[in-house]
Amino acid sequence: MSDIHKGMAKRLRADLATRDVTISHSEALELVAHQYGARDWNTLAARSAPDEAAEGPAVPILRIFDRSKAMEFYVDYLGFQLDWEHGGHETHTPVYAQVSRGRAVLHLSEHHGDASPGGAALVSVADVTALHDEVHTRPYDYAHPGVRDEDWGRVMVVVDPFHNRIVFHQPVVTDVEPRPAEAAGPIELSYELDATREDAFAAFTERIDQWWHPAYAPEGLVSVTIDPEVGGRAWMQLADGTTYPWGTVTVWHPPLEYAQTFTLAQDPEHPSTLQVRIESASSRGRQHPGSIVRFAHGGWTAANVAGRARFSEWGILLDRFAAVADGRPVPEVPAWVTEGGPG
């Protein structure tokens, strides 16, 4: 914690210098201490020091199913280091491993019962923006995280190959300028399906009319269609005979990737983007490999980011998509959903 306080003192000196006010580093430390209600810097430093008698921090255990994919994600992509591991192919036992990055420690387990897929871990970092820039220098096709500002801090959310969410969190510091609106990250969801990649791709594109709900369309929706080619339209047929275009296909690469511009409930001059990436999942008792579908609604810029908050209900629609892909009954939308776009 004292490192954060020292950083605050450094920024305080710099800000005062722009106002032709010069103070020493020690004076800045004392001012920071007073802001925290401490008598002086030494008192604040002592208060922030770890209690040697206290228990250590809790360590999240995240469920994994494939060691190589786990190492590719956590070590090669996110920059964690592998501290130790037990089990594996040589011993024919499930892998249990520890990875760490700085003071952040995670346990990864293939053991049934240790954890369930879809867990989450909160990792505090000093600079989310720097971490975002770092991971984007590494080649990894299955994650394209963004950074967003919340009331409780600046965050970057990354979903691992096993549907676990790693939330990198930079706490709110009042003397840090807010991140520009154009850096708003995508809305991301992922699903592990029994469906093959081919069936998942077809369900999202060719069979979109089976899962899209009229509550998320202009009044009088008759059908929803995506033209199967780059440059094709995403469009809706309405009861009055008109068509409503809501995007243009930018990537058509079955069964791996689909993308389009997105103008539903948005200014067509400033569209956002939809992207769907599909990869194979382990068979896990199935007769064929399943699929992992990663969805991202991004493309947020200073010109359109004000409308981003409207699109908070993608999970309702995509739960319906997942049911269509897997051949399950399609869930109804909640009763409180009325009209308008997702969100």
pLDDT band per the 50, 70, 90 thresholds, residue 342: very low
| Res. 340 pLDDT band, cuts 50 70 90 | very low
The average pLDDT across 142-169 equals 85
Supply the pTM of this predicted model: 0.50
What digits encode the pLDDT tens for the residues 271-315? 999 999 999 887 666 677 899 999 999 998 888 888 888 898 899
∠ CA 22-27-31, nearest 5°, is 105
pLDDT tens figures, 186-223: 999 999 899 999 999 999 999 999 999 999 999 999 99
Centroid of chain to Cα 290: 22
34-54 per-position pLDDT tens digit:
766 677 767 766 666 555 445
Residue 8 pLDDT: 75
Cα-only R_g, the chain: 24
CB-based contact 107:98 (threshold 8 Å) = yes
